[in-house]
Amino acid sequence: MVRSAARGLLAGATGTVVLNLVTYGDMALRGRPSSGMPAETADRLAGHAGIELGDGEEKASREEAAGALLGYVAGLGTGLLYGLLRGRRDRAVWLTGPLLAAAAMAASDLPATALGVTDPREWSGTAWLSDVVPHLAYGFTTAAVYEALR
């Protein structure tokens, strides 16, 4: 069980790096700004937890950092859970990749939606692509790395 968890954590870490590479590559190619959703989600979570993030630039910096850290928690946590729940049978990457992508998307988008930061029903097609494509890269990478580590 410890080995499966470690493999899942390492696979999730690799998938998270790939997700970030795809996201920043998209930002560079299209010249689009980063999303404010992670920072706003972090701010609202901190508020619900009674944690004061400060004022002005200090608060904005903490929100941005906490938002990025939440992304790592989602990516690493999804990989870890996959490692723990996966079982011993071989799993096809083409099948588990999209499932891991959906799980990672849910880990980041559901809290933001629940906190009223965003409403995916109002997203444009481009916004959906900007979220789905990096998460698919995460899912396929995480599944492939996990299988390679077996």
- Say what the pLDDT of residue 27 is: 95
Residue identified by tokens 């508020």 is 47
- Say what the pLDDT of residue 75 is: 97
pTM for this prediction:
0.91
- Say what the pLDDT of residue 115 is: 95
Q: Which helix (H) or strand (E) holds 105?
A: helix 93-114
pLDDT in tens, 28-56: 999 999 899 999 999 999 999 999 988 99
- Say what the pLDDT of residue 22 is: 97
Residues lower than pLDDT 50 in the chain: none
Is 20 within 8 Å of 138 (Cβ atoms)? no
Cα separation, 110 vs 142, in Å, equals 20
Question: Please, what is the angle between helix 93-114 and helix 37-49, to 10°?
Answer: 60
